[in-house]
Amino acid sequence: MTVTIQAQRNGGATEISKTTCCGTTCCEDAGEQTEALSPEAIKTMVREKYAAIAREADASCGCSDDCCGENLTMIGDAYEGKEGYVADADLGLGCGLPTDLAGMKLGDTVLDLGAGAGIDAFIARTVVGEHGRVIGVDMTPEMIDKARNNAAELGFGNVEFLQGDIESLPLDDGLVDVVVSNCVLNLVPDKAAAFSEMYRVLKPGGHFTVSDIVVRGELPASIRDSAALYAGCVAGAIQESAYLDLLREAGFSSVRVLKEKPIVVPDETLRKWASAAEIEAFRRAGDGIVSVTVHGERVG
């Protein structure tokens, strides 16, 4: 896939200036409502989308305007130049740089949730060193295959990738020192279960640092519930206060936002799902979508 979306920074915000879609098929109903879908149906939809991205990562992608699968890139070229950067692992799917703020150290065991092709895992390896360990978990077989191939080509013996669901991690209790994730947890239907699993696999004294998308205020239902946008890492977002509360309810302490960046979606994109009146009300209310990097600790 050749990603032609480009993020433009404007006053600290990221403006999504262009979108493309890639895939062998297009949605039959761009207005499908996510609340009508079961959790398994949502996971299947997300898995199929990211499987297509993984399959087409090395191929040119042409797609008509009728395609409904929007890939909204919120990371741009922020990874480039980072120690441990692997171009083949960078699919433009993140919304932050959680590894920058994760407080990892030599010898740590780090878990990357929704690891994709492995970009954050490979960056984490440069911090934890050869005596540390990095584990990536992803539910999409095609992404796991791509990440494993990348690791094998790099000769990394202490980076491994496991297929599994975030709500039921294939890991023992108290195994990891640090959990990171990049624009993935908002796609998980049962966030409470995912956060509880994060708590379970962390060692006492361990912590997480995740970048994700949250909502402040109210989004028009046509945008919030679009199945295409959901898979594109926006419409699956929940209110910021609810997100932080779920983390605290999972047992985490010192939960706080370390960094934030508004995501400005242009009218051109919104018009694919929302009416002019909805867009006007959305802009007037000042509601919006925000990329946040959140930290929390497991004390006991």
Tokens of 172: 């023992």
What superfamily in CATH does domain 7-297 come from? Answer: Vaccinia Virus protein VP39 (3.40.50.150)
pLDDT of residue 56: 78
Distance CA 94, CA 97 (A): 8
Q: Where are the alpha helices (DSSP H) in the chain?
A: 39-55, 119-128, 141-154, 191-201, 221-224, 227-231, 240-249, 267-270, 276-285
**Reported confidence tier of residue 12, pLDDT bands at 50, 70, 90:** very low
**Reported confidence tier of residue 77, pLDDT bands at 50, 70, 90:** low
pLDDT of residue 232: 54
Given a cut of 80, whether residue 202 has pLDDT beyond it is yes
pLDDT of residue 83: 87
pLDDT of residue 168: 97
pLDDT of residue 176: 98
Tens digits of residue pLDDT in 173-193: 999 999 999 989 988 989 999
Q: Are 189 and 268 in contact (CB under 8 A)?
A: no
pTM of the model: 0.81
Distance CA 6, CA 121 (A): 24
The pLDDT of 99-112, averaged and rounded, is 97
What residues are paired with 264 via a beta bridge?
15
Domain boundaries defined on the chain: 7-297
Distance CA 117, CA 91 (A): 7
Q: Are 11 and 260 in contact (CB under 8 A)?
A: no
The chain-wide mean pLDDT, for the chain, equals 79
Tens digits of residue pLDDT in 109-133: 999 999 999 999 999 999 999 999 9
Q: Which helix (H) or strand (E) holds 254?
A: strand 253-264
pLDDT of residue 3: 28
- Percent of the chain exceeding pLDDT 90 equals 47
pLDDT of residue 237: 81
